[in-house]
Amino acid sequence: MISSTCETLTFTVRRKDPELISPSKPTPHELKFLSDIDERLRFHTPVIQFYRNNGNDDNIVIECRTSDPVDVIRKAIADALVFYYPFAGRVRETPYGGKLVVECIGEGVMFIEADADIRLDQFICMDALKPPFPCSDELLYIAPGSGDVINCPLLLIQVTRLLCGGFILALRLNHVISDAQGLHQLMVAIGEIARGSGSPSVLPVWKRELLNSHEPLSIPNRDYDLVHESRIVSLPFDQNQRVQHTFFFGQQEMTSIKKLLPPHLRTCSDFEILTACLWKCRTTAFNLDSKEDVRLFYTVNGRGKDRLNLPVGFYGNALFYGMAFSTAEKLCKNPLGYTLDLVIESKKKLLNTETVGDGNATMKKKMFRSWIAFMTNYALAGSHYFVTDATRARLAEVDYGWGKAVYGGIMKANSLPNPEERCFYIPFENSKGEYGILVPLSFPLECMKKFVIEVGMMAIQPPGRGCNQSQTFKKLIASAL
C-alpha cells in the first residue's frame, strides 16, 4: 500500500502482488528475430488510459459495465496473447554481434491489480484530463527486476479501480517489439476480445525480415542507445527548475498560426505547420547563441502503400526519421515560413524516391539512410528538438467494454532523458468536443515562461478592442506554471 500526495491531490493505491498472464492456450515455442529497426529502440515507453464507469455510448456492452474491469481485462489479455504470443516471450541477446531475438516461451506479460481511493473527476485539471498526471508512478508500478529490456516481460500492465467505478489502465511497452501503432493494434485486439469477440478483427503479422538491411548500417554498437541515453546539454537556465505543461492545438489555434504564413504555405499539413511553429518558438525561448546549430528530428510512419507497403497486421517498428537543421539566428530572425520550408523540404527528401542524387533508391533504403543520418547527427553538439508523432496511435479509442477512454496517451513529458529536447503529438478531444493535437512538454522554468509567450503570439487570436494582450499572456504563463 502506497500513499501519494501531489500538491493538493492525495490518494492511496493498494496493489496486489504482480502476476504473470500467459496465453490461455498453448502457443509455439520458437525464436523470432527482430528487425534492424527494432534493434535500435532498446527502451521502454509508458502510456495510460482513463475510463469512466458509465459512458453514454450506446455501443457499450452492458455486461462489461457491471463486471469487474480487472477480471475482464485480465482474461482478454490471456486470450489475445494466443494470437500475439511473442509478447508473452522474452528478449534475448545472441552472441552474434548482440543481435536481439524474442524467445517465445509463453512466460507471460506482467499484470498488477490495484485500487485507488480517488474518483476520476479529481484527476481533471482545468477543463480536460491531460498529462502530467499526479502520482503516475503509483498508477504504473515498476516491479523490481522487471525494468530491463533483456530477459524481462515485454509488457507491464496495471489496472487500477477508482471509487467512482471507473478505472485506469497504465502500461509499459518494451519498444523493441512494437511501435505506438503496433501497440494500438494489440490493445484494440484486447478490447475486441473483452467485448466478446472470439478473435481480433486484424490478425497480427510478424514479418520483421521485411525491415532488415542487406548492408551494414555502419553505426557502431555504442550508438544503439542514442535515442534514450542522456546527452550533455548546455542550457542558459537552471535545469533543476523544470516544469511540465500540456498545450492543445485545435482548429482555432491552427487557423491563427496559418495566418502568419504566406498563402501558398497555408495548405501544408497540420503536422508540418505545428512542428515548424514549435521548433521556432522553442529555439527563441531557449535564448541560444546565435551561431549554435539547431536540429529538428521527427518520426514518420512507414506504413502505407506509398511508403514501405507493409502487410496489414504488421505490428513491429516501422519508423523513418526526418531531419532539418539551421542556426539559432536564422530560425529566430526569419518568419515562420522559413522554418516551415525547412520542414517541408526535409520531408520531401525523405519520402520522395525520385529526389535528385538518390538514383534508384527504394523507400526501404531511404528508411535505413534516415536512421544513419539520425544517429550520426543526434550525437553532434547543438540544440536538438525531437518530435514523435503518435496521432495515428489512437489509444483513447480503445474500448474494453466501457466505451472510449477519456484520455489515452503518454503519462508525462519527462519519461525519457533530456525531456527538454522531446515532444509527443497526441490526438485529443477536449471538453468542448473540439478535436486537435495535445503536446506535453517539459522545459526549465524560465524557458517555459518564454515559450508560452512565443506560442501565445502565434496560436492565439489577437484580443479584441478593449482587451489587454499582456494580461492574456500573464494568464497563459500562470496556467503553464
Domain boundaries, given as residue ranges, for the chain = 13-209, 233-480
Q: Tell me if 13-209 shares its fold with 233-480.
A: yes
Average pLDDT for residues 49-58, to the nearest whole number? 72
Helix, coil or strand: residue 90: strand
Q: What is the pLDDT of residues 382-403, one digit of tens each?
A: 789 999 999 988 999 999 999 9
CA–CA separation, 140 and 52 (whole Å): 19
Encode burial over 307-334: b for 16+ CB neighbours within 10 A, e otherwise.
Answer: bbebeeebbbbbbbbbbbbbbbeebbee
Q: What is the CATH number of domain 233-480?
A: 3.30.559.10
Question: What is the reported pTM?
Answer: 0.87
Q: What is the pLDDT of residues 231-252, one digit of tens each?
A: 444 444 455 578 888 999 999 9
At residue 241, the pLDDT reads 76
Query: For residue 19, which phi and psi values (nearest 5 degrees)?
Result: -130, 165
Q: Are 278 and 339 in contact (CB under 8 A)?
A: no
Average pLDDT for residues 43-59, to the nearest whole number? 78
Average pLDDT for residues 371-390, to the nearest whole number? 86
At residue 250, the pLDDT reads 94
Q: What is the DSSP letter of 314?
A: B
Average pLDDT for residues 402-422, to the nearest whole number? 82
Given pLDDT bands bounded at 50, 70 and 90, which one contains residue 419? low
**Segment among 9-18, 120-129, 149-158, 311-320 with least mean pLDDT:** 120-129
- Check pLDDT > 70 for residue 127: no
Other CB atoms within a 10 A radius of the CB of residue 196 amount to: 11
Average pLDDT for residues 36-61, to the nearest whole number? 79
Given pLDDT bands bounded at 50, 70 and 90, which one contains residue 465? very low
Average pLDDT for residues 409-427, to the nearest whole number? 81
- Check pLDDT > 80 for residue 440: yes
Average pLDDT for residues 193-222, to the nearest whole number? 82
**Residues annotated as catalytic (active site), given as ranges:** 175, 399
Average pLDDT for residues 167-175, to the nearest whole number? 96
Show Cβ contacts of residue 192 under 8 Å, excluding neighbours closer than 6 positions. 200, 201
Q: Are 195 and 400 in contact (CB under 8 A)?
A: yes
Average pLDDT for residues 149-177, to the nearest whole number? 96
Q: What is the pLDDT of residues 190-200, one digit of tens each?
A: 999 999 999 99
CA–CA separation, 416 and 395 (whole Å): 20
Q: What is the DSSP letter of 167?
A: E
Residue 33: burial class (beta carbons within 10 Å; 0-12, 13-18, 19+): middle
At residue 97, the pLDDT reads 78
CA dihedral for 275, 281, 285, 287, sign (positive or negative): positive
Average pLDDT for residues 155-171, to the nearest whole number? 96
Given pLDDT bands bounded at 50, 70 and 90, which one contains residue 320? confident
Q: What is the CATH number of domain 13-209?
A: 3.30.559.10
- Check pLDDT > 90 for residue 10: no
At residue 368, the pLDDT reads 86
